[in-house]
Amino acid sequence: MRLFVRALVLACACAGLTGAPAHAGHDPARQVLPAGDGWASSGQGTTGGAAAPADHVHTVRTRAELVAALAAPAPRIIRVKGVIDANTGPDGKPLACTDYATGGYTLPAYLAAYDPAVWGRDRKPQGPLEDARAASARNQLAVIGFEVGSDTTIIGATPGAGITGGSLRIHGARNVIVRNLTFRDTRDCFPAWDPTDNSPGAPPGNWNSLWDSVSLQKSENVWVDHNTFTDEPNVDSTQPLYFNRPYQVHDGQLDITAASDLVTVSRNVFADHGKTMLIGGSNTSTTDPGKLRVSVHHNVFRNTQERAPRVRFGQVHVYNNLYEGAQVYSWGVGVQSQIYAQNNFIRGIAPEKVVYNWGGTAITDTGNLVDGRLTSLVGAHNAAFPDKALGTDAGWTPTLNRGLEPAHRIRHLKAGAQPAGHHLVVGHGFPTVQSAIDAAPAGAVITLPKGVYREVVKIPASKRGLTLRGATGRAQDVVIDYDNANGTKKPDGTTYGTSGSATATIAADDFKARDLTFRNSFDRKKHPEITNTQAVAVKATGDRMFFDRVHFEGHQDTLYADSPNVTTRSRQYYRDCAITGDVDFIFGRATAVFDRATITALTRGSDPNGYVTAASTQRANPYGFLIVNSKIRSDAPAGTYFLGRPWHPGGDPEAIAQVVIRDTVLPAAIKPVPWTDMSGFPWREARFAEYRNTGPGVGQGADRPQLTDDEAKRYTKSAYLGGWNPA
């Protein structure tokens, strides 16, 4: 009986390792760190807010509610429902970077003042504009920074719960638990330029940002468990170069500095980031020695560039983690650091890129597998960097290693916050369309209730199989709208360009949209100062994309039906859709079928009034745009509209437009010669044709190429979609 009871107690304790929702009758928010589970289990242990009375348990859905809960008496439990956007004003409306700027700060002015050609490279920026940048950054921190006090548990209470753009600051606290949250895009609006911060082998200077998703300073007994950290949808790779250096807007995902101690970091996902985890912030610290004892176990580091972790001073046990994707380095061996790296699984990373010497002397490296093979990672480093050779004994042996497993069992490690379910509703835990997209797993369905959603939406390629659907069944009831144009200035003083103007940019394969409207409401008349008036409603680049009863509204360049690159064919099917515009308002190189579409060609009061299509089909692709069983309508005067012209992006000679319009009603507005040249490229060298069209805009003759009956058999919906059946 004693053996049975002991086994039962052990089983209950081990349940704490999983971080999954507890069995009925158990509240995950009151779960404590089990004994022996890393450094945070030592001393008085880590219990967070487990002892909180009922009136100290707070459920929060907004930034204001989170701030209030963090200020409430301890011990406290804070349950986060849905996604909280940290960049939110007192009125609940989103804040942009420009809303924080003060003292005359603008990025163009800052770039002009501290351009190395003007300022030089031997001193850090100083003066009014640097002061203004720092003040602007403080304004942002006052909004996005959340101070976490002692005896606190903060936990995601619903699938997909998290904080976007925020920074949890565990400073001067003890006994804190952070679990089951997704931290996204903790973006510093005001990175600082430092021409004296030089990296080996890189051009001089660096842009440095400040805000971490989770920051520990002067804190102890902290457990960070089952969270997901990501920069999506604003990854650093999309940022521009200034002074020939990446404009880095993200700092750490989890930084543990300033004499923090007794920390366990377990079962998190760290993804798509640069400076991931820093343990110890200074080579000259007098308070860090003897502190910074951290356990990092059963985490997934995916496509992180460096610092996984980088360590100074601390005794850090790094075990049973999964590393995958290209990295600069993972384990940074810093001054007086004592890293014990044990039983980790490394996939797809060169062995010499795992360890790097940042002024340390030794690292223990045992039981680690690289692509399934036992590998000495210290040996690989020493062979690659003989002038930075490290010893193989960190000088200590961990004992708080509950759950230690052989490395081969880590190759398929699952970790991170509980993802959102497969059916999300905007307004129910997700304040914006983008927040729902960010939280949604691949294959999810997102429902948009009736309303106008004024925001820019981006669906990355990783969200394969996503569906957006309007709740009412009427596209006009559910509108995603914004008004950027090619020539609209961004906060940094540059312009958006045609692609960047898109209200929605959709890169995911197998995407579906139904019963909603995408609109770009840019108004030329209100902005005479803008001459580049291309204003995209949707840029779609994925394959097997299905738009059903969707409206696309704009003027110039409304629908950009494209592919991710010139060598990739993207098939797109638009059924029962309505497309409105004037100049080149259906354009791009996708293989796209417009079936039973209503295409409205707006009048501009000129001749020509506009162009329905501007295809840029690659020469090797026999199928570009097919408009079939549709109706083109227009109030423009008779004979003032072209059906299309051939677009050669950047003068690409391989972009040979292919457009067939068949079995479609044409209005009187269509010109007798309906195709025309573009940018010096003659339309007759493109692949334009009609077949069996009707209406007052039809015509015959040498200037109106027609398919024969036999040719028409090759230009059908099934031929364009190439074996894919959207239905």
Q: What is the set of active-site residues?
A: 584
Beta bridge partner(s), residue 611: 583, 642
d(CA 177, CA 164): 19
Cα–Cα dist 7/357, whole Å: 44
Judge whether 191 and 207 are in contact, CB under 8 Å. Answer: yes
Residue closest to 432 by CA, chosen among 149, 44, 83, 61 = 83
| Helical packing angle, 107-114 and 128-144, nearest 10° | 140
Question: Please, how many CA atoms are within 13 Å of residue 40, restricted to the half-sphere of its CB?
Answer: 29
Chain-centroid distance, C-alpha 640: 43
Kindly state the tokens that stand for 210: 């400040």
Task: Supply the DSSP string of 460-500, one letter for each residue.
Answer: -TTSTT-EEEESSS-GGGEEEEE---TTPBPTTS-B-HHHH
Tell me what percent of the chain is helix, strand and coil, each rounded to the nearest 5. 15, 35, 50
Q: Considering Cα of 21, then 24, then 29, then 30, what sign does the dihedral take?
A: negative
348 and 371 Cβ atoms separated by less than 8 Å? yes
Best CA proximity match to 87, nearest among 162, 168, 141, 132: 141
Q: Is 653 helix (H, G, I), strand (E, B) or coil?
A: coil
**Of all helices (H) and strands (E), which one includes residue 664?**
none
- Partnered with residue 342 across adjacent β-strands are 319, 366
Q: At 631, list the tokens.
A: 């109706």
Which phi-psi region, left, alpha or beta, contains residue 156 (left: φ > 0; alpha: ψ -120 to 50)? beta
Whole-angstrom CA distances from 580 to 520, 521, 610, 727 are 11, 12, 12, 25
Q: How many CB atoms are closer than 10 A to CB 385?
A: 14
Number of neighbours of residue 660 by Cβ within 10 angstroms: 24
Cα–Cα distance for residue pair 178/76, rounded to 1 Å:
12
* Contact by Cβ (8 Å): 282, 256: no
User: Is the CB of residue 179 less than 8 Å from the CB of residue 108?
Assistant: no
The long-range contacts involving 494-500, CB below 8 angstroms and separated by at least 24 positions, are: 494/240, 495/532, 498/532, 498/534, 498/536, 498/557, 498/560, 499/536, 499/539, 499/560
Q: Which of 345, 361, 294, 354 is nearest to 327 (CA)?
A: 354
User: What does the angle CA 489 – CA 493 – CA 496 come to, to the nearest 5 degrees?
Assistant: 40
Element containing residue 310 per DSSP (H, E) = strand 310-311
Look at the alpha carbons of 26, 29, 32, 37 in this order and tell me if their dihedral is positive or negative.
positive
Task: Round to whole Å and give the CA distance between 595 and 578.
Answer: 10
Quickly list H helices, 19-54.
none
Residue with tokens 């052990």: 10
Lookup: tokens for 566: 């010139």
